Amino acid sequence: MATDAYVFGYPLVLMDATHQQSLTSTPNNRWVAVPPLDPTINAVVDPNVDTIYTSAWVDLKREPVVVEIPEITDRYWLMQVLDAWSNTVGDPSSIDPKDGKQDSVHTYVLTGPNFSGTVPEGMTQVPITTNTAWLIDRTEYHDEADIANAQAAQGQMKMATLSEWESGERPAPLGNPPINSAVPPPDAVAKMNGPAFFGRLNALMVGNPPAADDAPAMKRFASIGVTPGGTVDSALASDLSAGVQAGKDQITNYKNPGAKNENGWAFNTNQGAYGTGYALRAYTARGALGENLPKDAVYPTVEIDAGTPDAPKRYVMKFAAGKTPPVKGFWSLTAYTPEGYLVPNPAGIYSVGHQVPVVPGPDGSVELVIQAADPGPAVPHGNWLPIAESGKGRLMIRLYAADPQALDGTWQLPAVTQVN
């Protein structure tokens, strides 16, 4: 029982640990503008070099929060809204802003589980069934010279509580404050024993209630004291801690039944909203907290081996004519080290397919050359992705607002093929 309860509650406790880390430098209900990543610094794993981020933790316990996205017509944007259980419950974007307006300012009001008022005129409601929510906005930039334009759009985003908004306050995003945490959130949760974990889970469920569909699970968990506002029996401490360890193992060893492998590319199309799929929710939270809905973004990956400096390996990836990724947003291909860092290279090329347009061949096909050495002028600048000079690595292709055919297998990524 404790094992199942741990898997069930893990995303809520991890989300809270991440929230608490953020609060060391940033208040609730304020956008934080994250600057573009320096590709030469290993600050995060699997960094995205095609968008800048704006993030906010929202507290809806006392009143709704208003969010304003400026009129952005020249680039893709996506505002992901996650509830406290890590479900994506809102996803306004430049493709589908949810308010019926395209070339306009977009004003949303986020409402919590206790909201019973009237949505102000001109605002689009985003209902959230938990008092805590996490917003992550991604704003596209086209190349290095365009970063300033993306940041200008980012700087026009506004957020305030409803009462502040109605009094005329329109706070712009804060700068990117340093986050000081001796223990990363996943490690902090991993260190919790049974009583500590379940005690925290019980406290968090008061303001972030389980969904109605969770009622059968909650009925079972009540037998060990796991209930909103409840107290776990201290006599069960050893059993609870054993359940925590078994739950950790279950999450680590989980095999996603929705995992796909198409021509060597591995990806999932069942993430982002989980219902009663508790194991999938926990597994995703542990490895990719804040995963998007598939219709908004998917990230197929494939492993490669660059060989050795004396015997380098070279690869190609060829799209047939008219068969580049079908997306409404954009796509890009990025190379990473085994640790998930960008591959240093003298050319300063970290992704292809987006910032520098790919060039079709005479027959309309697009061939991407994937190798460490500069292939020379015969290969268009936008068609070469550098990889490491030796050792293993990984390629990731990002598909933003992919068409359904890219998710259901009607269209598939071509294989990455070694050519020497």
**41-98 pLDDT per residue, tens:** 877 789 999 999 999 999 999 999 999 999 999 999 999 999 999 999 999 999 999 9
What's the burial of 218, exposed, middle or buried (CB within 10 Å: 0-12/13-18/19+)?
Answer: middle
CATH number for the domain that contains residue 313: 2.60.120.1600
Is residue 324 one of the residues assigned to a domain?
yes
> What's the number of domains the chain is made of?
2
- Choose the weakest-confidence range: 60-74, 76-90, 174-188, 294-308: 174-188
Compute the distance between CA of residue 308 and CA of residue 391 in angstroms, rounded to an integer: 7
Is residue 156 one of the residues assigned to a domain?
yes
Is residue 364 one of the residues assigned to a domain?
yes
Is residue 30 one of the residues assigned to a domain?
yes
pTM over 0.85: yes
Is residue 177 one of the residues assigned to a domain?
no
Residue after which a domain boundary falls, among 112, 144, 166: 166
Letter string b/e over residues 40-71, b meaning 16 or more CB atoms within 10 A of that residue's CB: eeeeeebbbbbbbbbbbbbbbeebbbbbbbee
131 DSSP assignment = S
Span 390-407, pLDDT tens digits: 999 999 999 999 999 999
pLDDT the model gives residue 181: 65
Compute the distance between CA of residue 347 and CA of residue 385 in angstroms, rounded to an integer: 10
Q: Please give the span between the terminal C-alpha atoms of the chain, in angstroms, as a whole number.
A: 54
Compute the distance between CA of residue 42 and CA of residue 30 in angstroms, rounded to an integer: 27
pLDDT band of 180, cuts 50, 70, 90: low
pLDDT the model gives residue 178: 78
Residue after which a domain boundary falls, among 166, 184, 217: 166
- Using an 8 Å Cβ cutoff, are 171 and 159 in contact? yes
pLDDT the model gives residue 356: 84
Compute the distance between CA of residue 402 and CA of residue 60 in angstroms, rounded to an integer: 32
Q: What percent of the chain has pLDDT over 90?
A: 90
Q: Mean of the pLDDT values across residues 26-51?
A: 89
Is residue 233 pLDDT above 90, yes or no?
no
CATH number for the domain that contains residue 55: 2.60.40.1610
pLDDT the model gives residue 102: 85
- Choose the weakest-confidence range: 164-168, 235-239, 245-249: 235-239
Compute the distance between CA of residue 87 and CA of residue 85 in angstroms, rounded to an integer: 6
Is residue 45 one of the residues assigned to a domain?
yes
- Choose the weakest-confidence range: 155-164, 342-351, 389-398: 342-351
Is residue 207 one of the residues assigned to a domain?
no
For 152, the 3-state DSSP assignment is helix
Return the bridge partners of 351, or none.
334
> Containing domain of residue 129, as a range?
26-166
Residue after which a domain boundary falls, among 121, 148, 166: 166
Is residue 368 one of the residues assigned to a domain?
yes
